Amino acid sequence: MHIEFLRLLFDFGLVILIWTVQLIIYPSFPYYGRLDLIEWHKIYVQRISYVVVPLMFGQLVVSAIQVYESQTFYTIASLILVILVWALTFSQFVPLHHKISNTTFTEKDVRQLIVRNWGRTILWNLIFIWGLINLF
């Protein structure tokens, strides 16, 4: 399998994942009572990690390999976008999820998950579409 196709698989997986999170998972959080959200969130974070972690690491590793093999505008810029998504994830979303896990969250924090996640949604879609265009 060519590395470009492997990369596209990781990118596509993350696009499907982020749209599911953006349209279904995060918008469902306000419908939970506080205690129910805390309980569900523990389960959610553990389960979603089995999907998110391999996809994000896979995308990062394949992006780095692509840069190592060929330093083009696409490979370098694409890796920068992937790193930007990682930065957003760890600077914006991990703290918000920790607030829910630690029971110190507010309704505003839950709303911020939805609002801020549009940035990752746009970035992962851009990464995927650009990779698709670059492939052909």
Give the tens place of pLDDT for each residue, 41-90. 999 999 999 999 999 999 999 999 999 999 999 999 999 999 999 999 99
Count: domains in the chain? 1
What's the mean pLDDT when you consider all of the chain? 96
Confidence of residue 135 (pLDDT cuts 50, 70, 90): confident
Q: Contact, 12 vs 135, CB < 8 A?
A: no
Q: Looking at residue 89, what is its pLDDT?
A: 97
pTM: 0.93
94-124 per-position pLDDT tens digit = 999 999 999 999 999 999 999 999 999 999 9
Residue 92 binned pLDDT confidence (cut-offs 50, 70, 90): very high
User: How would residue 1 be classed by pLDDT, with cut points 50, 70 and 90?
Assistant: low
Give the N- to C-terminal CA distance of the chain in Å, as an integer.
Answer: 16
Domain of residue 62, residue span: 3-135
- Listed as own residue / partner, the contacts of 55-58 with beta carbons closer than 8 Å and 24 or more positions apart are 55/10, 55/13, 55/14, 55/17, 56/14, 56/85, 56/86, 56/89, 58/6, 58/10
